[in-house]
Amino acid sequence: MTWQGWVNFILGLWLILSGLINFSADVMVPNLIISGIIVAALSLWEEFQYEREDRRMHVHG
C-alpha cells in the first residue's frame, strides 16, 4: 500500500470510530460511520486494483 492509501484508510477508520465513540451529535453518527466505511473501503479497493495492475504489467509486460 502506498502512504496515500494508508492515510485514506486511517482517516476512514477515524470517521468510523468517531461515530462509534460519539464525539458528535446523534444526527451525525450514521453519516460518520457510513462515510468512514466508504472511505476505508474505497482506499482498500484502490490499493488492490493498483497491485493487480502492477502484477499484470510484470507478467505481460
More confident residue, 49 or 40: 40
Taking the C-alpha atoms of residue 13 and residue 57, their distance in angstroms, rounded to an integer, is 31
Contact call for residues 30 and 44 (beta carbons, < 8 A)? no
Residue 38 confidence (pLDDT): 96
For range 30-40, the mean pLDDT: 93
Express each pLDDT in 10-20 by its tens digit. Answer: 999 999 998 88
For range 25-35, the mean pLDDT: 86
Number of separate domains in the chain: 1
Record the cell numbers describing residue 8, joined without a space.
485514506
Residue 61 has pLDDT above 60, yes or no: no
Domain hosting residue 18, numbered range = 3-60
Q: How far is CA 30 from the centre of its chain?
A: 17
